[in-house]
Amino acid sequence: MLWEQPGSSRPMPKPLIVDIPHDLGRDEAKRRLEHGTDQARAFLAKSGVTIDQLAWTGDRLDFGVSAMTQKIGGTIDVGPESVRLEVKLPFLLALFAEKIQKVASKEGNLLLTKK
């Protein structure tokens, strides 16, 4: 689905949103995400994705990545019962949104459920 970018008549892809439930509590989920960033860098690098920015503000992680000469920005909000990933994909990468969503959901579940 497309939405119109503010101040422009050019349609933009709708943000990709993945909600990952967990039963860890907010602090443990955040700790796992903080420690999982190195693993994420290695995993994403294999796919040609580079992490440009990672910045925590409270329970929100703002990030920026580059892939296929495209810049991607997003947030991860850590809640007491779920983690919400929101990614703003450029049009070219929005074509792969379904695949990106499946991978993000699978990897997020692994990170938040393994002991």
User: Is the pLDDT confidence value at 52 over 80?
Assistant: yes
User: Is the pLDDT confidence value at 7 over 60?
Assistant: no
User: Is the pLDDT confidence value at 90 over 70?
Assistant: yes
Tell me the mean pLDDT in the region 44-62.
90
- Please give the model's pTM, rounded to 2 decimal places: 0.80
Question: What's the CATH code, domain 15-110?
Answer: 3.30.310
Question: Which of 105, 90, 99 lies closest to 2, judged by CA?
Answer: 90
User: Is the pLDDT confidence value at 1 over 70?
Assistant: no
Average pLDDT value over all residues in the chain: 85
Q: Of all residues in the chain, what percent carry a pLDDT higher than 70? A: 88
Q: Please, how many CA atoms are within 13 Å of residue 114, restricted to the half-sphere of its CB? A: 9
Tokens linked to 18: 């993945």
| CA–CA distance, 56 with 74 (Å, rounded to integer) | 12
Better pLDDT: 2 or 51: 51
